[in-house]
Each structure stands twice: as C-alpha cells, then as structure tokens.
Amino acid sequence: MDLTFPYEKKRSEFGKQCMFNDRGPELIDSCPSSLRVSVDFIRRNPVNTGVQNSKIQAEHEINTYRAEYSNALMNHVEGGWPKDVNIADEEQTKRYRRKVEKDESYAHIMQQLCKNMENCILQNNAINIYQQYYTDVEPTPLTEPCTARTVNVFQDQSSLKRPVTNMSWSPDGGSRVIVCHCNLVYQANIQSKHHHSYVWELENPNTPQMILNPPTQSVCIEYNQKDQNSLVSGQYNGQVAVWDVRRGNEPVDFSVMECSHRDPVNSILWINSKSGTEFFSGSTDGTLKWWDTRKMKDPLETLILDASKSEEQSISNALGCSILEYEHTIPTRFMVGTENGYVISCNRKGKAPNEKMMARYHTHYGPVLALQRNAAFVKNFLTVGDWTARIWSEDCKESAIMWTSYHKARLSDGAWSPTRYSVFYTARSDGILDVWDLLQDQHAATIGVKISDEPLTKLKTNEGGRLICVGNQIGTTYIIEFSDNLSYSNKNDKALLTAIFERETRREKILEARNREIRLKQRTARSSTQLAEEQVDTDDTSFEDPNVVAAEQEFFAIIERETKVEEEEEEEEEEGQENLELLQGFDTEDEVKP
C-alpha cells in the first residue's frame, strides 16, 4: 500500500501566470547604419570577444534507468505465512514467530522498517494540533479542571432520622454499599423498629436491596473482602454480630454478652488470616478484642489499652478506642485512635503489653475521628480530629509532618484516596466535603463540594478511586464521583510525593533534635542547681538561689532607674513653675507703674 502525502498551495503563490500564443516575429525598432557616425570611431586591429550572460556548462547525457520503489503491506491471513505453517494452529504460529525473532537479520530488518515509520511519524507530528488558528475562539485549557458530581442519593427508610455512622463497599468492585445508622445520644429512646441497616445498589436509589434487622442498633459494619456475602457489625450494646446475606436479614451469630464490650463498639475491621474469618473490634471501654466467626463464645485475644508503664494492665487506666486502622500489607501491625487524642501503634506479635503498644503519638486535643495509612506510603498516616487534619510519619513521634489550618467548622472524618496517593478527603460539620491534593496545593483544599445543609458524619472511599460515599446527620447517603485528575495518579506523582514526605520528615527530625537539646540543657541546669543546694549546709542561711539574686538585682536596677527619671521630671516641673511665677510678677509690676 502506497503512502501518499498531498500538499496543497494557492495559485497566487506560484507567481504571474505565463500566457503563450501562436504569432510571428514583430519588428519593434530599426537602427540603420550611417557613414557620418563612423568618423567619430577610432579604428584598431580586429579583436574577437565572446560575451555570455551565464556560466558555460558542458552538456552531458547518460542513458540510465531510475529504480522505482513501492511500499506494500502483507496480511498473513491471506498467504504471508509459509506453506508448512498452519495459520489456524495458534501454537505453530507462535513457534514460527519465535523462530523469526531469533534470526540475526531480524533486528536489522526491523531497524530499517522503523526508519521509514519514524519518517512518517515525524511528518505527522509536524503539525501542532494545539496551535490556535482562529483568534475569535477561546483556547482550550490543556489541564482538566477538578470537578465532582453527585451520582446517587440514598435516604434513610426509617421515620426517625438517624445519623450515618459507618459505610462499607462490597468487594465485587463496589456495586453495592451497606449503610448503618445509629443514634449515639446517651439514653436516647430508640424503638426496635428503628434498628435497620440497608444494603443499596448503586443503580437503584429508590429501594434498598436488603434491609438488615439487628436486635440493637449497629454502630459499625464491614464487608469481608474475601467473601461478599459475609459481614460483621459492632452493636450499640457492645456485642459483635456475624451476618450472611444468603441466610436472610437476621444475624447468624452473636458474641456472648459476658465476653463482649461494655460500651458501644466504635470500630470493627477484618484482618488477614488463612481462614479469612478473623476480625477485631474496639470500644470506648478501653479494650480490643479479636474474634473468629466460627467461634463467637469467647474472643481469641483481649488487649487493654493501658498506655502506662506499669507491669499489670488496669482497665481503670485504659484509654477509650474511637477508631481502628489495619493495613493488610502489614499483617501484624495495627493502629488505635483514642478518645483523648492519642494514636497508639501496636504489634500483635508482642508478648508483653509494652511490646504490643510500641509507640504513642499525641495527635489531637479531642477524640481521633479518622485514622488511615497511605496506600503507597504505609509509614505515613492521616488523622482527623478537632478542627484540623494532620499527616504523620512513624519516624517522627513528637509532631506531624504536615497539617491543615484550623477550620471554622469541626471536621468529622477523613480518608486517603486509594488510587491517587497525594489526595485525601475531609468531611466537615457545615456540609462541605474538601478534597486536598498535596501535589497541587498544600495550604488550601483543591476543591470544596457542598454536599448538604446538614453536618457530614462519615465518608468511605471506593477501591476504584472515583467514587466516595458520604453520610450526614439526618441519615442521607450521597455517592460522589470525581474527575480523573483527582482519581488517578500520573507516572511522576509517586516520585514527587516521596520527595515531599522525605523533605518534611527531615525538617521535623531537625526540629525534634533541637527541642531535645533545649530540654537537655534545662534538665542539666535544674540538676546542677539541685546539686548546689544539697552541698550547702542547712544551717547556712546566707545561700541564695543565683536566679533569684539576678532577678532581684535587675528589679532594683529598674526601680532605681525609674526613680531617677521621676526625680528629674519633678525638678523640671519645679523650675518651670518658678519661671512662670517670675514672669507673672513682671507683668504685675508693669501694670502697677502707670
């Protein structure tokens, strides 16, 4: 097949058109010879002179034949294969391809073909497709704008509107989402008919696919990522329930009340195990419990969140659990967010309680409402609490490496994007969902979406990256879809984000080292002062603290200086008064003399 490239050009660009016609020679002018003019000429010897307007070139002709080449393609289905190769047999064709690729001349032939193809590609790219040829048309922006749209809205089917406390996406690609509602107001009067949780299909927002009917309110619920029919939920009364949607809308099994939590179960997560039936739960009673769905009578293990250094753990010193975090790539590690603002990094393989609770971070002044590790940088985790969101590194325990400014509205939840590692979301109590992209702006949200007029309570990201589920205070759930530039990473994003995290981590390490040095100097000064006090005899009353002496000297020096200033001002006032009296006396005498 020949590749032709027509080039078009206007006729006016070729120059003036030549007009030819058939006509004979015409005599324009004639100059006859005159003998009178010959007198003015000087005769000389004959000279032959040749005059030529252009370079002299020799004429040479050789009869040759020009080689004509034509580019042609070959369709192997139509007979390009050898006769001994059966094109219907896939194994024979693959074997023949491998044989041809191993030939020494294969690389040389491909290089020659690539040159011809490269020439065509370069000609194709010679035209700038982004060039603006018309001035009356606005240029198209090259960067995609950040956008978000609401896909579906799910309403609470109960007459009593309850807040959304947790959501979970189904593991089959997110075709369904389960939403649980719970009123966590202390001693709220909730009837049994208002305990329902709903399984919604994304394509059907009118009626739920299934209504789960627990005996008490469900605070949290999670899908098993290995089995889309299995669920576990944490109840308001401290129990944990196991569900199988194939067996109806009632729980399959419950934990025994005596072995359950004493407070509502705030968080529940599945863990990696060979059987795929193990999970753990956390509550504000200060305990974590590991369970197996095949044996719900007793927990497999119980951990008391007593962060003190005492050998025996006490439930009276335990910290209440507000949120749990578990990364499946680190099977033995997990993190716990507490009610008093601490995040505890734990290791399940530890033998002693101090070994199980390895590190503690003071993240917020109030409860930790959200806690999640970054999918690509597991050392960095996000926390949300109070009025701010913070990004921490496990290498820096004293302060966060990055944080947002304090918002006017309280933050209620946050999460990382599972596909674009530099993006995280925060939900606010004024109904706005903020999207932060660290590669675009680290001081302000990239986009803020007004979801509803009611406070947002919970959000959950889909593993696909584009969808996010957001719940509010009156039980309404929104499915939000974001644009591609907020959902998917580019090839350089991971390297750029790595540089940002490393730079901020180094900066915080330098500040921590500086703070430790200052604290060490203060402790050394205090210890030297105490040592000097111990060396002085108790009967010697002349000993005084050098800091106190310095402070007294400075105090009396200031008093003396201020006293001198006041005396000088008084002297100036007295002199001014005397001068004024003298002037008044002179005026009186002048008046009396006449």
Which token pair is 222? 């999670």
Digit-coded pLDDT (tens) for 431-446: 999 999 998 888 888 8
| 200 pLDDT more than 60 | yes
| 586 pLDDT more than 90 | no
Residue 528: CA atoms inside 13 Å, Cβ hemisphere, count? 8
Q: What is the DSSP letter of 238?
A: S
- State the Cα–Cα distance between residues 205 and 203, nearest whole angstrom: 6
Mean pLDDT across the chain:
82
φ and ψ at 232, to 5 degrees?
-135, 150
The pLDDT value recorded for residue 552 is 82
Digit-coded pLDDT (tens) for 274-325: 888 899 999 988 889 999 988 888 888 888 888 776 667 778 888 889 999 9
| 251 pLDDT more than 80 | yes
Mean pLDDT within 563-591 = 70
The distance from CA 340 to its chain's CA centroid, rounded to whole angstroms, is 27
The pLDDT value recorded for residue 572 is 80
Least confident of 63-67, 193-197, 514-518: 63-67
Q: Are strands 447-450 and 176-181 parallel, antiparallel or unpaired?
A: unpaired
| 349 pLDDT more than 90 | no
Least confident of 15-24, 192-201, 352-361, 561-570: 15-24
- State the Cα–Cα distance between residues 42 and 115, nearest whole angstrom: 72
- State the Cα–Cα distance between residues 426 and 447, nearest whole angstrom: 11
Q: What does the DSSP assignment read for 128-187?
A: -TT----TTSPPPPSSPPP-EEEEEEE---SSS---EEEEEE-TTTSSEEEEEE---STT
Which token pair is 7? 């080039």
- Residue 32: count of CB within 10 angstroms of its CB: 4
Write down all domains in the chain, each with its CATH number in brackets: 148-488 (2.130.10.10)
pTM (2 decimals)?
Answer: 0.63
The pLDDT value recorded for residue 38 is 78
**How much of the chain exceeds pLDDT 90, in percent?**
19
What are the beta bridge partners of residue 150?
480
The distance from CA 123 to its chain's CA centroid, rounded to whole angstroms, is 40
Which token pair is 111? 């290089």
User: Between residues 584 and 450, which one has the greater pLDDT?
Assistant: 450
| 543 pLDDT more than 60 | no
Least confident of 24-38, 407-421, 455-469: 24-38
